[in-house]
Amino acid sequence: MIPWLALLLTFLAIIISIFQFIRGGKRRPPFELREGRFSAEIFYAFLIIYVSVLLGFGLIYFILSFQGIILVEDGELRQPSVIGSLIHSMYFSGVTLLTIGYGDITPVGLGRLIALIQALIGYIIPAAFVLKLVQSQQRSRSE
């Protein structure tokens, strides 16, 4: 029961953090555009969110590997060591998030739905950043 709770909490933390970033809030955002140029703060926020999602979903795949929902490598069902499973989970998470999809590792069962959700998040994050840039630029022009 504990792995499923950890899985659910990790997934919820990822989704909540992305929605909070998109929604913003009443307080001043931690980054702004400076003179209409791309700022380092935007890039770092973008990088941190991508790394957080990559690690979060990697941990989800790793936790699921203990429940028998595993990743299949090159069409063969393998049982790697704990470290090997962690490495495979992080690699698959990165390939899925960046929508590369090499196909060398394939999810089985519930992992397919989770991979689909992760790929969708990887596809939406850049659009959210563009939206944030436009909103920030409009606020700076109106002030």
Instruction: Give pLDDT tens digits for 1-48.
Output: 556 677 677 777 777 776 766 666 545 455 444 555 566 777 788 888
- For domain 1-14+51-136, the CATH architecture is Orthogonal Bundle (1.10)
* Whole-angstrom Cα Rg for the chain: 18
Angstrom distance (rounded) from CA 115 to CA 97 = 8
Does position 50 have pLDDT exceeding 60, yes or no? yes
Structural domain boundaries in the chain: 1-14+51-136
Distances (CA, A) of 3 to 8, 23, 69, 95: 9, 30, 12, 24
Does position 125 have pLDDT exceeding 90, yes or no? no
Q: What is the pLDDT of residue 68?
A: 75
The model's pLDDT over 67-106, given as tens digits with 9 standing for 90+, comes to: 777 778 777 777 778 898 899 899 999 999 988 888 888 8
Q: How far is CA 110 from the centre of its chain?
A: 17
The predicted model scores a pTM of: 0.72
